[in-house]
Chains A and B, each alone.
Chain A
Amino acid sequence: MNNPQQIFEDSATPSCRMFISIAADPSSAAVIGQCVNTVVSTVLNTEDTAAIELCVVEAINNVVEHGCAGNPEAVIDIELALFEDRIHILIRDDGSAIPVSAFEKACQFNFDSEDLQALPEGGMGLFLITKCMDEFAYSRDAKDRNCLYMTRLIQAAESS
Protein backbone atom coordinates (compact mmCIF):
# COMPACT_ATOMS: atom_id res chain seq x y z
CA MET A 1 0.00 0.00 0.00
CA ASN A 2 1.11 3.59 -0.64
CA ASN A 3 1.83 5.97 2.22
CA PRO A 4 -1.51 7.64 3.06
CA GLN A 5 0.01 10.70 4.72
CA GLN A 6 2.30 11.30 1.75
CA ILE A 7 -0.54 11.01 -0.76
CA PHE A 8 -2.60 13.49 1.24
CA GLU A 9 0.24 16.00 1.62
CA ASP A 10 1.32 15.72 -2.01
CA SER A 11 -2.15 16.68 -3.24
CA ALA A 12 -2.72 19.95 -5.01
CA THR A 13 -4.42 22.73 -3.10
CA PRO A 14 -8.03 21.72 -2.46
CA SER A 15 -11.00 24.03 -2.94
CA CYS A 16 -12.21 23.13 0.52
CA ARG A 17 -10.59 21.46 3.50
CA MET A 18 -12.31 20.30 6.67
CA PHE A 19 -10.76 19.01 9.86
CA ILE A 20 -12.65 17.40 12.75
CA SER A 21 -11.26 15.87 15.92
CA ILE A 22 -13.50 13.76 18.16
CA ALA A 23 -13.27 11.24 21.00
CA ALA A 24 -13.43 7.60 19.92
CA ASP A 25 -16.88 7.14 21.45
CA PRO A 26 -19.72 4.90 20.17
CA SER A 27 -21.72 8.02 19.25
CA SER A 28 -18.88 9.53 17.22
CA ALA A 29 -19.67 7.79 13.95
CA ALA A 30 -23.20 9.19 13.75
CA VAL A 31 -22.09 12.68 14.79
CA ILE A 32 -19.29 12.83 12.23
CA GLY A 33 -21.34 11.08 9.54
CA GLN A 34 -24.11 13.65 9.77
CA CYS A 35 -21.62 16.50 9.96
CA VAL A 36 -19.79 15.30 6.83
CA ASN A 37 -23.10 14.77 5.05
CA THR A 38 -24.24 18.30 5.84
CA VAL A 39 -21.04 19.83 4.52
CA VAL A 40 -20.40 17.77 1.40
CA SER A 41 -24.05 17.71 0.31
CA THR A 42 -23.77 21.43 -0.38
CA VAL A 43 -21.31 20.75 -3.19
CA LEU A 44 -21.67 17.07 -4.16
CA ASN A 45 -24.55 15.06 -5.57
CA THR A 46 -26.64 12.67 -3.50
CA GLU A 47 -24.77 9.51 -4.54
CA ASP A 48 -21.31 10.89 -3.77
CA THR A 49 -22.52 12.39 -0.50
CA ALA A 50 -24.06 9.08 0.60
CA ALA A 51 -20.91 7.12 -0.30
CA ILE A 52 -18.66 9.51 1.59
CA GLU A 53 -20.88 9.53 4.68
CA LEU A 54 -21.04 5.74 4.64
CA CYS A 55 -17.28 5.29 4.35
CA VAL A 56 -16.51 7.81 7.09
CA VAL A 57 -19.03 6.10 9.39
CA GLU A 58 -17.64 2.64 8.59
CA ALA A 59 -14.07 3.76 9.22
CA ILE A 60 -15.00 5.37 12.55
CA ASN A 61 -17.08 2.34 13.60
CA ASN A 62 -14.02 0.22 12.93
CA VAL A 63 -11.85 2.45 15.11
CA VAL A 64 -14.38 2.57 17.97
CA GLU A 65 -15.24 -1.15 17.92
CA HIS A 66 -11.80 -2.58 17.28
CA GLY A 67 -8.86 -0.19 17.25
CA CYS A 68 -9.73 1.95 20.28
CA ALA A 69 -11.97 -0.41 22.24
CA GLY A 70 -11.35 0.09 25.98
CA ASN A 71 -9.40 3.33 25.50
CA PRO A 72 -11.69 6.22 26.58
CA GLU A 73 -9.01 8.83 25.87
CA ALA A 74 -8.47 7.81 22.26
CA VAL A 75 -9.04 10.52 19.65
CA ILE A 76 -10.02 10.27 16.01
CA ASP A 77 -8.96 13.00 13.56
CA ILE A 78 -10.87 13.28 10.30
CA GLU A 79 -9.64 15.45 7.44
CA LEU A 80 -11.47 15.99 4.16
CA ALA A 81 -10.02 17.78 1.16
CA LEU A 82 -12.28 18.54 -1.77
CA PHE A 83 -10.91 18.93 -5.29
CA GLU A 84 -12.64 19.54 -8.60
CA ASP A 85 -12.76 15.86 -9.51
CA ARG A 86 -12.18 14.01 -6.22
CA ILE A 87 -12.42 14.05 -2.48
CA HIS A 88 -9.62 12.90 -0.21
CA ILE A 89 -10.37 11.64 3.29
CA LEU A 90 -7.73 10.99 5.92
CA ILE A 91 -8.66 9.35 9.22
CA ARG A 92 -6.10 9.06 11.99
CA ASP A 93 -6.62 7.41 15.35
CA ASP A 94 -4.83 6.19 18.45
CA GLY A 95 -6.02 2.61 18.10
CA SER A 96 -4.12 -0.59 17.66
CA ALA A 97 -2.80 -1.39 14.20
CA ILE A 98 -5.13 -2.88 11.62
CA PRO A 99 -3.68 -6.16 10.31
CA VAL A 100 -3.13 -6.12 6.55
CA SER A 101 -5.10 -9.37 6.46
CA ALA A 102 -8.23 -7.39 7.44
CA PHE A 103 -8.06 -5.44 4.17
CA GLU A 104 -7.31 -8.57 2.16
CA LYS A 105 -10.26 -10.33 3.80
CA ALA A 106 -12.52 -7.33 3.11
CA CYS A 107 -11.66 -7.44 -0.58
CA GLN A 108 -12.60 -11.11 -0.69
CA PHE A 109 -16.00 -10.64 1.01
CA ASN A 110 -18.32 -13.25 -0.46
CA PHE A 111 -21.12 -15.56 0.60
CA ASP A 112 -23.59 -18.12 -0.65
CA SER A 113 -26.96 -16.34 -0.77
CA GLU A 114 -28.74 -19.72 -0.65
CA ASP A 115 -27.14 -20.72 2.64
CA LEU A 116 -29.23 -18.72 5.10
CA GLN A 117 -27.49 -19.70 8.31
CA ALA A 118 -24.05 -18.96 6.86
CA LEU A 119 -24.90 -15.40 5.83
CA PRO A 120 -22.35 -12.90 7.17
CA GLU A 121 -23.48 -10.51 9.91
CA GLY A 122 -20.17 -8.67 10.00
CA GLY A 123 -17.11 -8.01 7.90
CA MET A 124 -18.99 -5.67 5.58
CA GLY A 125 -17.60 -2.32 6.78
CA LEU A 126 -14.17 -2.41 5.14
CA PHE A 127 -15.72 -4.15 2.14
CA LEU A 128 -18.12 -1.21 1.66
CA ILE A 129 -15.16 1.17 1.81
CA THR A 130 -13.38 -0.79 -0.93
CA LYS A 131 -16.54 -0.68 -3.05
CA CYS A 132 -17.35 3.00 -2.56
CA MET A 133 -13.84 4.41 -2.78
CA ASP A 134 -11.63 4.55 -5.85
CA GLU A 135 -8.47 4.37 -3.80
CA PHE A 136 -7.56 3.61 -0.22
CA ALA A 137 -4.34 3.10 1.67
CA TYR A 138 -3.40 2.39 5.26
CA SER A 139 -0.26 2.75 7.37
CA ARG A 140 0.97 3.79 10.81
CA ASP A 141 2.15 7.41 10.81
CA ALA A 142 5.25 8.96 12.41
CA LYS A 143 3.39 9.26 15.74
CA ASP A 144 2.46 5.57 15.57
CA ARG A 145 -1.19 6.34 14.88
CA ASN A 146 -3.41 4.53 12.40
CA CYS A 147 -3.71 6.47 9.18
CA LEU A 148 -6.43 5.50 6.69
CA TYR A 149 -6.56 7.40 3.44
CA MET A 150 -9.48 7.19 0.99
CA THR A 151 -10.21 8.88 -2.33
CA ARG A 152 -13.44 8.98 -4.28
CA LEU A 153 -13.68 10.43 -7.76
CA ILE A 154 -16.67 12.71 -7.80
CA GLN A 155 -19.15 13.71 -10.46
CA ALA A 156 -19.92 17.26 -11.48
CA ALA A 157 -21.31 19.27 -8.61
CA GLU A 158 -25.04 20.00 -8.66
CA SER A 159 -24.51 23.55 -7.53
CA SER A 160 -21.59 25.86 -6.94
Chain B
Amino acid sequence: MNISHRIEGNCQLVKLEDSRLDAQAAVDFKAHMDRCLEHEQENIIIDLSEVDFIDSSGLGAMVSVLKRVGSKGSLVLTGVNEKTRKIFELTRMDRVFDIQQSPEDALKVLAAA
Protein backbone atom coordinates (compact mmCIF):
# COMPACT_ATOMS: atom_id res chain seq x y z
CA MET B 1 0.00 0.00 0.00
CA ASN B 2 1.25 3.48 -0.86
CA ILE B 3 1.29 5.75 2.18
CA SER B 4 2.60 9.31 2.45
CA HIS B 5 3.71 10.72 5.75
CA ARG B 6 4.64 14.17 7.01
CA ILE B 7 5.12 15.91 10.32
CA GLU B 8 3.29 19.09 11.19
CA GLY B 9 3.97 20.50 14.66
CA ASN B 10 3.13 17.81 17.16
CA CYS B 11 1.16 15.79 14.61
CA GLN B 12 1.93 13.09 12.11
CA LEU B 13 -0.18 13.30 8.98
CA VAL B 14 -0.55 9.92 7.32
CA LYS B 15 -2.29 9.74 3.96
CA LEU B 16 -3.34 6.43 2.44
CA GLU B 17 -2.74 6.87 -1.29
CA ASP B 18 -4.52 3.71 -2.48
CA SER B 19 -8.24 3.17 -2.86
CA ARG B 20 -8.53 -0.02 -0.79
CA LEU B 21 -7.81 -0.67 2.88
CA ASP B 22 -8.55 -4.38 2.85
CA ALA B 23 -7.04 -7.52 4.38
CA GLN B 24 -3.93 -7.35 2.19
CA ALA B 25 -3.38 -3.60 2.51
CA ALA B 26 -3.98 -3.78 6.26
CA VAL B 27 -0.68 -5.64 6.69
CA ASP B 28 1.31 -2.77 5.11
CA PHE B 29 -0.79 -0.20 6.92
CA LYS B 30 -0.11 -1.74 10.32
CA ALA B 31 3.62 -2.02 9.60
CA HIS B 32 3.72 1.65 8.57
CA MET B 33 1.77 2.71 11.66
CA ASP B 34 4.14 0.71 13.86
CA ARG B 35 6.94 2.96 12.59
CA CYS B 36 4.79 6.07 13.13
CA LEU B 37 4.21 5.10 16.72
CA GLU B 38 7.96 5.18 17.31
CA HIS B 39 8.03 8.93 16.54
CA GLU B 40 7.85 11.46 19.36
CA GLN B 41 4.76 13.13 17.83
CA GLU B 42 1.95 11.18 19.43
CA ASN B 43 -0.97 12.83 17.65
CA ILE B 44 -1.80 11.09 14.40
CA ILE B 45 -4.12 12.19 11.60
CA ILE B 46 -5.02 9.55 9.03
CA ASP B 47 -6.31 10.97 5.76
CA LEU B 48 -8.65 8.49 4.06
CA SER B 49 -9.76 10.77 1.23
CA GLU B 50 -8.31 8.45 -1.42
CA VAL B 51 -9.80 5.33 0.17
CA ASP B 52 -12.98 4.05 -1.41
CA PHE B 53 -13.20 0.62 0.20
CA ILE B 54 -12.57 -0.56 3.77
CA ASP B 55 -13.31 -4.08 4.95
CA SER B 56 -13.37 -5.50 8.47
CA SER B 57 -9.61 -6.24 8.35
CA GLY B 58 -8.84 -2.62 7.43
CA LEU B 59 -11.14 -1.41 10.16
CA GLY B 60 -9.56 -3.81 12.64
CA ALA B 61 -6.12 -2.44 11.73
CA MET B 62 -7.30 1.08 12.51
CA VAL B 63 -8.73 -0.08 15.84
CA SER B 64 -5.35 -1.62 16.60
CA VAL B 65 -3.63 1.71 15.91
CA LEU B 66 -6.17 3.57 18.04
CA LYS B 67 -5.49 1.23 20.96
CA ARG B 68 -1.73 1.65 20.58
CA VAL B 69 -2.00 5.45 20.52
CA GLY B 70 -4.02 5.05 23.70
CA SER B 71 -3.98 7.95 26.11
CA LYS B 72 -0.49 9.07 24.99
CA GLY B 73 -1.94 11.09 22.11
CA SER B 74 -4.90 11.35 19.75
CA LEU B 75 -5.89 9.64 16.55
CA VAL B 76 -8.13 11.56 14.15
CA LEU B 77 -9.51 10.25 10.85
CA THR B 78 -10.28 12.58 7.97
CA GLY B 79 -11.59 12.33 4.42
CA VAL B 80 -14.02 9.52 5.26
CA ASN B 81 -16.41 9.37 2.33
CA GLU B 82 -20.04 8.28 2.45
CA LYS B 83 -19.25 4.73 1.41
CA THR B 84 -16.47 4.08 3.91
CA ARG B 85 -18.36 5.90 6.68
CA LYS B 86 -21.06 3.24 6.34
CA ILE B 87 -18.61 0.59 7.61
CA PHE B 88 -17.91 2.69 10.70
CA GLU B 89 -21.63 3.18 11.28
CA LEU B 90 -22.59 -0.48 10.79
CA THR B 91 -19.97 -1.60 13.32
CA ARG B 92 -20.68 1.42 15.58
CA MET B 93 -17.00 2.36 15.31
CA ASP B 94 -18.14 5.87 14.35
CA ARG B 95 -18.69 6.31 18.10
CA VAL B 96 -15.11 5.28 18.83
CA PHE B 97 -13.11 7.25 16.27
CA ASP B 98 -12.76 11.02 16.09
CA ILE B 99 -13.72 11.70 12.47
CA GLN B 100 -13.15 15.17 11.01
CA GLN B 101 -13.80 16.50 7.55
CA SER B 102 -10.24 17.42 6.55
CA PRO B 103 -6.66 17.29 7.90
CA GLU B 104 -6.92 21.05 8.48
CA ASP B 105 -10.01 20.53 10.65
CA ALA B 106 -8.20 17.76 12.52
CA LEU B 107 -5.20 20.01 13.16
CA LYS B 108 -7.52 22.67 14.60
CA VAL B 109 -9.22 20.12 16.87
CA LEU B 110 -5.89 18.80 18.10
CA ALA B 111 -4.51 22.31 18.63
CA ALA B 112 -7.55 23.19 20.74
CA ALA B 113 -7.32 20.02 22.83
Contacts and interface: CB of A to CB of B under 8 A. Distances in A.
Interface of B is mostly: helix
17 contacts: A50-B83, A53-B53, A54-B55, A54-B87, A57-B55, A58-B56, A61-B22, A61-B56, A109-B91, A113-B92, A119-B66, A119-B67, A120-B60, A121-B64, A124-B91, A125-B56, A128-B91
Interface of B: 20, 22-24, 53, 55-57, 59-61, 63-64, 66-67, 70-71, 83, 86-87, 90-92, 95-96
A37 to B, nearest CB: 8
Nearest 3 A/B pairs, CB to CB: A124-B56, A121-B60, A125-B56
Of A26, A57, A109, A132, chain B has the most CB atoms within 10 Å of the CB of: A57
A127 B66 contact: no
A104 B20 CA distance: 29
Contacts of B87: 54, 128
Interface stretch (A4-12, A27-35, A81-89, A146-154): A27-35
Interface in A108-137: 109, 111, 113, 116-117, 119-122, 124-125, 127-128, 131-132
A50 B96 CA distance: 23
